[in-house]
Homo-oligomer: A and B are copies of this chain.
């Protein structure tokens, strides 16, 4: 690569994207080959013709599946966490994904009571409590209301807990450390339609939302948010919800911690106060550094992670061009910018945001990087349209008690070694 033609945007090889686009990409990544004058490959560069190019291919099937060569791309159970038949945490393989859509088969999941096998024709949604007309819906009737679709993320409150809790940076890949974040197109009926039909009474402030799983997972949510943008969702990425995601119907509450988007939704009790259920009094709270408990703090904070390169990946050549690519998101709006540093924070420059940049959705960012081959640390720092910016790890830690881990959103550091290895780091 003719590096003299490049303009650098920040230290240690981060490139100015426009000069890079103009440079004609002399990346020296491809292999130049010899061809005969007629354009045929010369014998010494011609690989044997593979059988698939000389024979009829296989039949297709009525429901497609990934290539057997990608069989390692799977959800993985969270490491170092005791999991039972009822409670399990499945992580998405972020380091194998590109773009912003998570295929439904790879969407992260946290189950409190296993996955119930619901017969859809027997399932009911009940709205009662402080309403003029208690209502009950079967699915056929519920799905006749007008629907909306939105591409939005879902993140578990406890995503990246290992980096919040562990005194030293644990070895792990992006999936193990960050895999409780996914993004899909969700389609359903605005909950406001149903609550208006039931007639919410003036004293109502909260709605207790309960699932049909064996443990009746439930959360109390402010009525105002549910009237604003929550939906009763039937579809994910164009097809009906998977059982693991709440089939036949779930609540979807944009931007808020995942467990409040109640799966297998069957009951909405309108109330003037929260229920203080098990999960909202314990697991899904935060403990501040003065030991005060912060409950009912729902919105996920602005956050980002570089997915390429990321933990346990290995750069295949020990210097030269790489594209740095990652994901950013915020529970309080659109991503406004993502800054990247290739010198452990001494200098920063803005990455490109790939559109569409949507409200409360994953946003893909990237920046070209000419690696010198020296060991270094890569960082990304996202800001949202409300002005929220990711804190450093020490800033985040100073706000919370040592054993508090929910809503961890500090700047992530990946250490790149001279041997091309990439590992989790606290910078």
Task: Give the interface of A toward B (CB within 8 A).
Answer: 24-27, 29-35, 39, 41, 45, 47, 50, 52-67, 69-70, 73-76, 85-86, 88, 90, 96-107, 109, 111, 113-120, 122, 124, 126, 128-129, 133-138, 140-142, 144-149, 151, 184-187, 193-194, 196-198, 212-216, 234-235, 237-245, 247-248, 266, 269, 316, 321-323, 325, 354, 356, 358, 364, 366, 368
Contacts and interface: CB of A to CB of B under 8 A. Distances in A.
Contacts of A240: 66-67, 70, 73, 96
- Most chain B beta carbons < 10 A, residue from A99, A216, A242: A99
Those 4 A-B pairs whose CB atoms lie nearest each other, nearest first: A57-B114, A52-B116, A99-B149, A62-B74
Contacts of A60: 75, 88, 90, 109, 111, 114-115, 244
A196 B204 CA distance: 63
Contacts of A193: 25
Given A39-B269, A147-B323, A269-B39, A106 B238 contact: yes
Contacts of A111: 57, 60
Nearest to A354: B149
B197 A368 contact: no
A142 B111 CA distance: 39
B57 A213 contact: yes
Contact of A31 (B25, B85, B114, B137): B137
Given A30-B141, A30-B142, 6 more contacts: A29-B142, A39-B269, A53-B212, A63-B74, A67-B240, A140-B316
Contact of A53 (B128, B216, B245): B216
A304 to B, nearest CB: 17
Contacts of A55: 214
Contacts of A243: 58, 64, 67
B119 A214 contact: no
9 contacts: A29-B142, A47-B122, A52-B117, A56-B86, A57-B213, A59-B115, A60-B75, A70-B239, A147-B366
Contacts of A54: 214
A134 B35 contact: yes
Given A67-B242, A116-B57, A124-B47, A145 B25 contact: yes
Nearest to A270: B39
Nearest to A325: B147
Contacts of A65: 105, 242
Contact of A73 (B31, B239, B364): B239
Nearest to A102: B238
Contacts of A86: 56-57
A236 to B, nearest CB: 8
A295 to B, nearest CB: 24
Contacts of A115: 57-60
Given A60-B90, A135-B33, A244-B64, A237 B237 contact: yes
A113 B69 contact: no
A66 B137 CA distance: 23
A321 B146 CA distance: 10
Nearest to A322: B144
A235 B136 contact: no
Contacts of A134: 32-35
A29 B141 contact: yes
A58 to B, nearest CB: 5
Contacts of A128: 33, 35, 39, 41
A105 B30 CA distance: 32
- Most chain B beta carbons < 10 A, residue from A53, A74, A85, A134: A53
A247 B67 contact: yes
A1 to B, nearest CB: 11
